[in-house]
Amino acid sequence: MPQVIALIRLLRPHQWLKNGFVFVGVLFGHAWREPALLGGAVLAFVAFCLLSSAVYVVNDYVDREQDRHHPEKKRRPLASGAVAVPTALVLGAVCLAGGLALAFLASRAAWIFVAYLLLQVVYNLGAKHIVVLDVFIIAAGFMLRILAGTVGIGIAPTHWLLLCGLMLTLFLGFAKRRAELDAMVDDSAVHRRVLEHYSKTMLDQYIVIAASGTVVSYALYTVSPETIALHGTRWLIASVPFVLYGMLRYLYLLHRQGGGGDPAREVLGDPHLIAALAGWALLVVALLSSWI
């Protein structure tokens, strides 16, 4: 049983929350009313879960020595020795094959999933050591998830959707780097070489820019004539406070509670973020469905 638990931990199922970006296009494209489109988004979500888990296995294998210097990552299955390397690589290969098979069978744009994998290769071959570019590549992975849930199932993504997604994922990426600097203190570069090129002041400035861009772009989206015409409501602006509260709460966790290093864990573990996300989702669904 401990071995099974370790294998599940190796796949990082809590990180599958990030693949929820696949459903953003379904929500704002009113596609939840069409079973075929909704089913396509679900299959894209599952494919990304398998592929991202395969990437996590490879990353843990490559980074296992550096992870042993990290106060929390040293507990990961490969870094701690809870899972043998051959077993981990077999599990990763199975996830990779399953994810690609599902992508080519179910998506209209299988190239998105291939691009995601190629992006991870570029990242691990050296781009992760290039300051700022490392976070942009992380954000690009999220953007591909959005495309998989729009272009991949036959929904045209709006420029607002892509802009908001980019700014939010840059915010999360720079916040992650800030948390890593706080966690490592003296030997941060041993764990992640790119951290020696960042400073707390620099990252705070990047975070402010990305956070401001997220809130402003989303607020402008809600009052855009194009948005009002598409959704038939002027009241999407009422969802902005949920977004703003969630961003401010995340910054509080980053600066005062030692959080921010794992966005998925923060969202799943903080009742304020859960409430903000749930309140936003319920209000948006109610408005787009003309329930209120």
For residue 93 the two structure tokens come to: 């290969």
| pLDDT score, position 169 | 95
Task: List the helix and strand counts (H, then E) for the chain.
Answer: 15, 0
What lies within 8 Å, CB to CB, of 30 at 6+ separation is 231, 288
What CATH class has 1-156?
mainly alpha
| pLDDT score, position 217 | 95
| pLDDT score, position 45 | 96
Q: What is the DSSP string of 54-120?
A: HHHHHHHHHTHHHHTTSTTGGGSHHHHTSS-HHHHHHHHHHHHHHHHHHHHHH-S-THHHHHHHHHH
pLDDT tens string for the chain (292 positions)?
778 888 888 899 988 999 999 999 899 988 888 899 999 999 999 999 999 999 999 888 887 777 777 777 777 887 777 788 888 899 999 999 999 999 998 888 999 999 999 999 999 888 989 999 999 999 999 999 999 999 999 988 889 889 999 999 999 999 999 998 887 655 555 557 888 889 999 999 999 999 999 999 999 999 999 999 989 999 999 999 999 999 999 999 999 888 777 888 888 889 999 999 999 999 999 999 877 6
> Which H helix or E strand runs over 239?
none
Q: What is the dihedral of CA 82, 85, 89, 95, to 10 degrees?
A: 0
Cα–Cα distance, 220 to 216 (Å, whole number): 6
Would you say 107 and 45 are in contact if contact means Cβ atoms under 8 Å apart?
Answer: no
| pLDDT score, position 191 | 58
Would you say 131 and 194 are in contact if contact means Cβ atoms under 8 Å apart?
Answer: yes
| pLDDT score, position 186 | 52
| pLDDT score, position 187 | 54
What lies within 8 Å, CB to CB, of 79 at 6+ separation is 60, 63, 64, 65, 67, 68, 73
Largest separation between any pair of C-alpha atoms in the chain? 56
Q: What is the dihedral of CA 175, 178, 182, 186, to 10 degrees?
A: 150
Helix (H, G, I), strand (E, B) or coil at 233: coil
Helix (H, G, I), strand (E, B) or coil at 215: helix
Best CA proximity match to 160, nearest among 174, 172, 146: 146
- Whole-angstrom distance between the N-terminal and C-terminal Cα of the chain? 49
